[in-house]
Amino acid sequence: MPTRIKWTRDELLIALNLYHKLTFGQMHARQPVIVEVAQKLQRSAGSLAMKLCNFASLDPALKLRGIKGLEGASKLDVSMWREFHADLNDTAPESEVALRKLFHVTEDAELEVLPKKGIITSKGPPSGRTAVAANVMLRRGQEYFRQSVLNNFGGCCGVSGLAVRDLLVASHILPWSSHPAERLNVRNGLCLSRLHDAAFDRGLIAFDEDLRLVLSRRLRDELAEPVIEDYFGRYVGQSLHLPDDAALPSLEFLEHHRGVIFDRAA
């Protein structure tokens, strides 16, 4: 019997990074991202997929949807899961750095996890040599959050279904500035078009306890305008579009948004 190679900390960070960028149904040995990363790790795609499914058994967000992972999580898996989620502001950017290092991505390039395509790298905007380490880690955290949220929503706007990635925003439900502990929590994110993101951020739209779109009075008063009806009115009462195996946005966070931000604009 071949000797099992123990997972290193960086490898587990990479696995957790992928875990939050793939939905449960994508955690299998034929998934393009898993195949590419496993090859770089010099592990089998099956072992990486199994590791992700082990993590799934520890995820309370999946339990809310009645989804169970594999019951083979080791003590190291449990320990790493707890460490990763105890302070996402540190561990999520660290996992992003580890993934970029695995693929030898330079600072002036971008890396994106696209479930249907695999790992995509491209030339990014020049950052210059004046960027300090703190700014780099902040950027890596933002990249992690954006990719995790967009992929959780299947790469589509939760309201309109728009699937042009460059026109999508990973919107924070609880504001970035006032809730630092939830900045990189995928359940604090909504995938919205740039228009719907702006409306959500300014309290012009919200989502109820059934994830259905509701409009502020300001927008309801403008429904006679065709453009308001087209971009907002037609979606009223419609639930957010999410894959069946996605992590649901926190109802507690959405309630806070309705009470603190949405009501002010009503």
Task: Quickly tell me which residue has 């042009």 as its tokens.
Answer: 164
The number of domains in the chain is 2
Give me the mean pLDDT over the 187-200 stretch. 98
Q: Write down which residue in 131, 152, 173 finishes a domain.
A: 152
At residue 130, the pLDDT reads 47
Domain that holds residue 63: 9-152
Sign of the C-alpha dihedral, residues 47, 93, 252, 172?
negative
Query: How confident is the model over 219-230, as pLDDT tens digits?
Result: 999 999 999 999
Last residue of a domain, one of 121, 152, 183: 152
What is the band of 1 on the pLDDT scale with cuts at 50, 70, 90? Answer: very low
- HSE-CB of 21 using CA atoms within 13 angstroms: 29
In the structure encoding, which two tokens stand for residue 187, read together?
A: 């359940």
Amino acid at 143: E
Do 140 and 172 sit in the same domain of this protein? no
Its pTM stands at 0.92
For residues 103 and 121, the answer to whether their CB atoms sit within 8 Å is yes
Name the one residue in this structure whose structure tokens are 């998934």.
31
Element (H, E) at 106: none
Q: Are 210 and 251 in contact (CB under 8 A)?
A: no
Decide which of 6 and 128 is more confident.
Answer: 6
Residue 130, in any domain of the structure: yes
Would you state the pLDDT for residue 133?
66
How far is the C-alpha of 72 from the C-alpha of 244, rounded, in Å? 24
Pairing assessment for the beta strands 109-114 and 118-123 based on DSSP bridges? antiparallel
- Specify the pLDDT at position 263: 62
Instruction: Please check whether residue 64 lies inside any domain of the structure.
Output: yes
Whether residue 110 is found in the same domain as residue 22:
yes
Place of tokens 């700014």: 135
Q: Mark whether 125 and 16 lie in a shared domain.
A: yes
Q: Which residues pair with 191 in a beta bridge?
A: 170
- Phi, psi of 206, deg, nearest 5: -155, 180
* Residue linked to tokens 């992003």: 96
| Mean pLDDT, the chain, whole residue set | 93
* Same domain, yes or no: 80 and 195: no
pLDDT value for 125: 58
Q: Is 51 within 8 Å of 39 (Cβ atoms)? A: no
Same domain, residue pair 75 and 175? no
Please indicate, yes or no, if residue 238 is contained in any of the structural domains.
yes
Is position 158 within any domain?
no
